Homo-oligomer: A and B are copies of this chain.
Amino acid sequence: MRAGQGPRSLPREAPPDPQLSLNTARLYVITPDREPGQVVDLARAVLRGGADVLQLRHKTLPRGKLLELARSLRELTSAAQVLFIVNDHVDIALIAGADGVHLGPDDLSIESARRLAPAGFLIGASASTPAVAVAAVSGGADYIGCGATFSTPLKPNKEVIGPEGVAAVSAAVRVPVFAIGGIDESNLLQLKAIGLHRACVIRAIADAPNPAQATRRLRAMLNE
């Protein structure tokens, strides 16, 4: 805990208006399941490259280590004024002072998570159809992660809905919709071609020889 904070106060949010930052966000980067030190290095590169949102997703780290990592990433993203989201764990997101949490289909419901979260805390949901997206937004989702846009080795059993499927979800809700799944420089223009300009990536950056440069290029392509 930092000096001068009471036992129940949570770290200050950064950026100052998460909802506003979310509305203008284009490139959303999710961290891979690697050693904490490697994740931190990657996060630095991603922030240098100009990502708009950083999500900590880690499926194998014990919860104590996950909180430590979340705190490190919150520090980096605060300094860069970049949105920071934690996957799955509402408690860790809140304790680390993240801007929000992303809840997948196997996670807590949005309504459940809202019971612990302060006003303004962002909650993201996953949806691959307009009906699911509309239900999530009615339940309080602030944004949607929508896919799989293309096939991806990370989720081989996930149905591929294509850029058209993402566009259909995007048209059905008013909150930001981020295309996810197999997106990289080779196919990003297929999204742009049908008017989509928000994307989530993992591999396209984590596996790039120069992650900062890859981030910069993807961000520029989304902005064009």
Q: Is A116 in contact with chain B by the CB < 8 A criterion?
A: yes
Q: Given contacts A91-B89, A108-B91, A108-B95, is CB(A115)–CB(B1) below 8 Å? A: yes
B67 touches A108 (CB 8 A): yes
Q: Please report the C-alpha to C-alpha distance between residue A113 and residue B105 in the assembled complex, in whole angstroms.
A: 25
By a CB distance below 8 angstroms, the chain B residues around A116 are 91, 94-95, 116
B115 touches A63 (CB 8 A): no
Q: Is A106 in contact with chain B by the CB < 8 A criterion?
A: yes
Chain B residue at minimum C-beta to C-beta distance from A109: B64
- When all copies of this chain in the complex are counted, the total is 2
Q: Please report the C-alpha to C-alpha distance between residue A115 and residue B114 in the assembled complex, in whole angstroms.
A: 17
Identify which of A64, A88, A94 gathers the most chain B CB atoms within 10 Å of its CB.
A64
By a CB distance below 8 angstroms, the chain B residues around A111 are 1, 7
By a CB distance below 8 angstroms, the chain B residues around A63 are 88-89, 106-108
Q: A interface, how many residues as a size bin?
A: 20 to 34
Identify which of A95, A106, A107 gathers the most chain B CB atoms within 10 Å of its CB.
A95
By a CB distance below 8 angstroms, the chain B residues around A1 are 111, 115
By a CB distance below 8 angstroms, the chain B residues around A95 are 108, 112-113, 115-116
- A sample of 19 cross-chain residue pairs with beta-carbon separation below 8 angstroms, ordered by A number, consists of A1-B115, A7-B111, A7-B114, A7-B115, A8-B114, A8-B115, A9-B115, A10-B115, A62-B106, A63-B88, A64-B107, A90-B91, A91-B94, A91-B113, A94-B115, A95-B112, A95-B115, A95-B116, A116-B116
